[in-house]
């Protein structure tokens, strides 16, 4: 395995981790990080992973903000 392949694998994993964690922890920051990493993976040729990370990051980030707002308002 070459060094660039290992770095791509790390970026792919980081994108999914940021996207999913944005559901519960710091949704705006981690959602944005997952979105940016998804774009980077998309431009590096991992089209399927990049698109999935963008969708997951946006969806989980928005849901995380909604859940946080509901918890703050006492619902």
pLDDT, residue 6, reads 64
Q: For residue 1, tell me if it sits in a domain.
A: no
- Domain count of the fold of the chain: 1
Average confidence score pLDDT of the chain: 89
Q: For residue 75, tell me if it sits in a domain.
A: no
Instruction: Tell whether the model's pLDDT for residue 28 goes beyond 60.
Output: yes
pTM: 0.84
The DSSP code sequence of 6-25 is HHHHHHHHHHHHHHHHTTTS
pLDDT, residue 8, reads 80
What mean pLDDT do residues 11-19 have?
Answer: 93
Q: For residue 21, tell me if it sits in a domain.
A: yes
């Amino acid at each position: 395995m070459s060094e660039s392949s290992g770095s791509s694998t790390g970026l792919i994993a980081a994108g999914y981790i940021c996207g999913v964690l944005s559901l519960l922890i710091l949704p705006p920051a981690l959602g944005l990080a997952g979105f940016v990493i998804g774009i980077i993976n998309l431009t590096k040729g991992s089209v399927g992973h990049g698109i999935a990370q963008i969708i997951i990051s946006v969806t989980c980030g928005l849901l995380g903000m909604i859940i946080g707002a509901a918890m703050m308002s006492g619902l």
